[in-house]
């Protein structure tokens, strides 16, 4: 187990994702915890994780944690559903400071929201194949009926910004047809890119379906943990630093849509 | 410069791509050169290259060449448009045996085919940004007018197998609208995934537009080089070996559509 010397409130929070998607999580964290210093790492040289095998996802995730540890972080948020679904238990075993993912918070919110117990989960291929959301939902409500749907085209649609047009609509109809027939009352957006397609997903599923955004739930969970452990930083405004493994310019440009605020400087780093 | 001891006809041909797309090139090579032994490497742990920066594309491409050199290859085919457009000159400078890409062969065929000189090039973001196709086309016909269009959604559409439905049609219409208005008589499919969408691209562009598939042209160029240098292997049937850096099962499953024949064993390797 790899541990860090001491955890103090003034230390930054580390956040990583395979690319820009995690910025939807960072956005919620910044809104809820404006006093915290945060370091964001996007592994854009190896994005996307959602199509890769578990071994590779674990290896890349560990390398991301090791990079963030250089900053003496007090806590790490795995702002990537794929990595949370597949690598989180291994990361938590290997490192001795708190590491939180987006899966548990999202699953908990879905269970609390659903009345019928029929829950849909949308995610990448790797997330769906891992069964992590299903497992966690069923541990909270063994009578839940979970239908998981991989939606690989949603990621490039979100990155192209094609979120409100006919292509997005038809793609959503294609992916959600069978799920809709099962009449879930709650659908979990199990990939950080999907909140950008909230509008079209809601339209296709119908007004009555509640959509759960893991990013919002995760930020809430981080706040609770910091308050409980006395690790919150009570300052006016925390500094944000951005690192990527490739293409800082593209990260800034496309990332604004995900972060919904200005991204100042982005530095390029090599993880090996 | 890194050189290999001796080049002999019995040595295999090395072929690499960022993933499965290069199988459309391998397919043409196998058809034209059935007696050759070939080693295919798909860098599926880091696919896609088309969204990455030039430095990263060069580094990954060099690592692929170094891997293939372990097999004592007599020739390497860069079966990836992005890597050919960006890394090929650097690879050719660094290594002392023949390395061929798909860009020159495709560009040459487009120039030979076009009567009006109005040529369209479809490719990944990185390929289009590199300007490699434009440059090469203009060096052959300085009066050509080249319009390049990045079509990022075509890759996931091809991999999902959504090549004949409405989503593909609308996506193609979206990407090709401005290009069509310029009435090119020739359109180059500058990404190894795009031949799978030939049907819908032809439909949108109209019957009169000629589509150029770099894979076919590249195989022809390889054959000519082997014949000219006395390096052709005159056997009945050459062995094919497949290596990937991740997800061999998915490579086999999705790859059949690209290769259009059976893929027997696929081995997983690590490039570092």
**Tens of pLDDT, residues B141-165:** 999 999 999 999 999 999 999 999 8
CB contact under 8 A, B171 and A167: yes
Q: Which of A45, A162, A167 sits opposite B56 (nearest CB)?
A: A45
**Closest approach of chain B CAs to the CA of A167, in angstroms?**
6
Q: Which residues from B are below 8 Å from A167, CB to CB?
A: 153, 167, 170-171, 174
Instruction: Give the HSE-up count for residue B141: Cα atoms under 13 Å, Cβ half-sphere.
Output: 19
Mean pLDDT of A125-144: 96
What is the SS3 assignment for B45? coil
Please indicate whether residue B151 is annotated as part of the active site: no
Cα angle A45, A201, A48; round to 5 = 10
pLDDT (0 to 100) of residue B114: 98
CB contact under 8 A, B51 and A171: no
**Tens of pLDDT, residues A165-180:** 899 999 999 999 999 9
Tokens of A10: 């003034």
Q: Point out which residues pair with A212 in neighbouring strands.
A: A188
CA–CA distance, A85 with A224 (Å, rounded to integer): 21
Rounded to two decimals, the pTM is: 0.91
> In the predicted model, what is the mean pLDDT of chain B?
95
**Closest approach of chain A CAs to the CA of B182, in angstroms?**
23
Tokens of B210: 């000629």
pLDDT band at A162 (very low <50, low <70, confident <90, very high): very high
CATH architecture for segment(s) A104-214? 3-Layer(aba) Sandwich (3.40)
CB contact under 8 A, B246 and A157: no
What is the SS3 assignment for B37? coil
Q: Which residues from B are below 8 Å from A82, CB to CB?
A: none
CB contact under 8 A, A167 and B162: no
Q: Which residues from B are below 8 Å from A56, CB to CB?
A: 45, 246-247
Residue A4 has pLDDT above 70, yes or no: no
If you measure CA to CA, which chain B residue comes closest to A171? B167
CA–CA distance, B77 with A175 (Å, rounded to integer): 37
**Tens of pLDDT, residues A15-50:** 999 999 999 999 999 999 999 999 999 999 999 999
Q: Which residues from B are below 8 Å from A155, CB to CB?
A: 156
CB contact under 8 A, B157 and A152: no
Output phi, psi for B189, to 5 deg: -85, 90
Q: Point out which residues pair with A150 in neighbouring strands.
A: A123
Task: Please name which of A126, A171, A249 lies closest in space to residue B125, comparing C-alpha atoms.
Answer: A249
Q: Which of A47, A160, A272 sits opposite B152 (nearest CB)?
A: A160
Q: Which residues from A are below 8 Å from B152, CB to CB?
A: 156, 159-160
CB contact under 8 A, B170 and A166: yes
**Tens of pLDDT, residues A94-118:** 999 999 999 999 999 999 999 999 9
Q: Which residues from B are below 8 Å from A149, CB to CB?
A: none
Residue B2 has pLDDT above 80, yes or no: no
Residue B4 has pLDDT above 60, yes or no: no
pLDDT band at B107 (very low <50, low <70, confident <90, very high): very high
pLDDT band at A234 (very low <50, low <70, confident <90, very high): confident
Q: Which of A53, A156, A160 sits opposite B247 (nearest CB)?
A: A53
Q: Evaluate whether B13-101+216-268 and B104-214 have a shared fold.
A: yes
Residue A264 has pLDDT above 90, yes or no: no
**Closest approach of chain A CAs to the CA of B47, in angstroms?**
7
As annotated, the active-site residues of A are: 80, 191
CB contact under 8 A, A246 and B52: yes
Alpha-carbon torsion angle A64, B247, B69, B107, nearest 10: -100
CB contact under 8 A, A160 and B167: no
Q: Which residues from B are below 8 Å from A45, CB to CB?
A: 46, 52, 56
**Closest approach of chain B CAs to the CA of A249, in angstroms?**
10
Q: For strands B75-78 and B99-101, give the pairing.
A: parallel
Residue A1 has pLDDT above 80, yes or no: no
Residue A127 has pLDDT above 80, yes or no: yes
DSSP string, B195-241: GGGHHHHHHHH-TTSEEEEHHHHHHHHHHHHHHHHT-----S---EE
**Closest approach of chain A CAs to the CA of B44, in angstroms?**
8
Residue B119 has pLDDT above 90, yes or no: yes
Asked casually if ipTM beats, i.e. exceeds, 0.90, the reply is no
CA–CA distance, A192 with A80 (Å, rounded to integer): 6
pLDDT (0 to 100) of residue B44: 97
Q: Can the peptide bond before residue A155 be classed as cis, meaning omega within 30 degrees of 0?
A: no
Mean pLDDT of A147-162: 95
**Tens of pLDDT, residues B170-192:** 999 999 999 999 999 999 999 99
**Closest approach of chain B CAs to the CA of A172, in angstroms?**
10
CB contact under 8 A, A160 and B166: no
- Annotated domain spans of chain A: 13-101+216-268, 104-214
Does CATH place domain B13-101+216-268 in 3.40.50.1860?
yes
**Tens of pLDDT, residues B44-82:** 999 999 999 999 999 999 999 999 999 999 999 999 999
**Tens of pLDDT, residues A197-221:** 999 999 999 999 999 999 999 999 9
pLDDT (0 to 100) of residue B8: 86
If you measure CA to CA, which chain B residue comes closest to A54? B247
């Amino acid at each position: 187990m790899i541990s860090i010397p001491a955890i103090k409130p003034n230390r930054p929070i580390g956040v990583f994702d395979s690319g820009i998607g995690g910025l939807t999580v960072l956005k919620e964290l910044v809104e809820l915890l404006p006093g915290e210093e945060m370091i964001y790492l996007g592994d854009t040289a190896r994005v996307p994780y959602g199509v890769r095998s578990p071994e590779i996802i674990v290896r890349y995730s560990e390398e991301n944690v090791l990079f963030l540890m250089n900053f003496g972080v007090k806590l790490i948020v795995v702002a990537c559903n794929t990595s949370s679904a597949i690598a989180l238990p291994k990361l938590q075993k290997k490192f001795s400071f708190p590491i939180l993912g987006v899966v548990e918070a999202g699953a908990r919110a879905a269970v609390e929201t659903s009345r019928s117990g029929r829950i849909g989960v949308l995610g990448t291929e790797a997330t769906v194949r891992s069964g992590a959301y299903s497992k966690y939902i069923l541990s909270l409500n063994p009578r839940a009926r979970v239908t998981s749907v991989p939606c690989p085209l949603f990621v490039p649609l979100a990155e192209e910004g094609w979120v409100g047009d006919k292509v997005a609509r038809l793609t959503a109809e294609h992916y959600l047809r069978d799920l809709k027939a099962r009449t879930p009352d709650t659908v979990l957006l199990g990939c950080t890119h999907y909140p950008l397609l909230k509008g079209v997903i809601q339209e296709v599923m119908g007004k009555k379906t509640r959509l759960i955004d893991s990013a919002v739930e995760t930020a809430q969970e981080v706040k609770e943990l910091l308050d409980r452990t006395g690790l919150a930083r009570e300052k006016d405004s925390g500094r944000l630093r951005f690192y990527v493994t490739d293409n800082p310019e593209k990260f800034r440009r496309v990332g604004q849509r995900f972060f919904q605020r200005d991204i100042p400087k982005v530095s390029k780093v090599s993880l090996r």
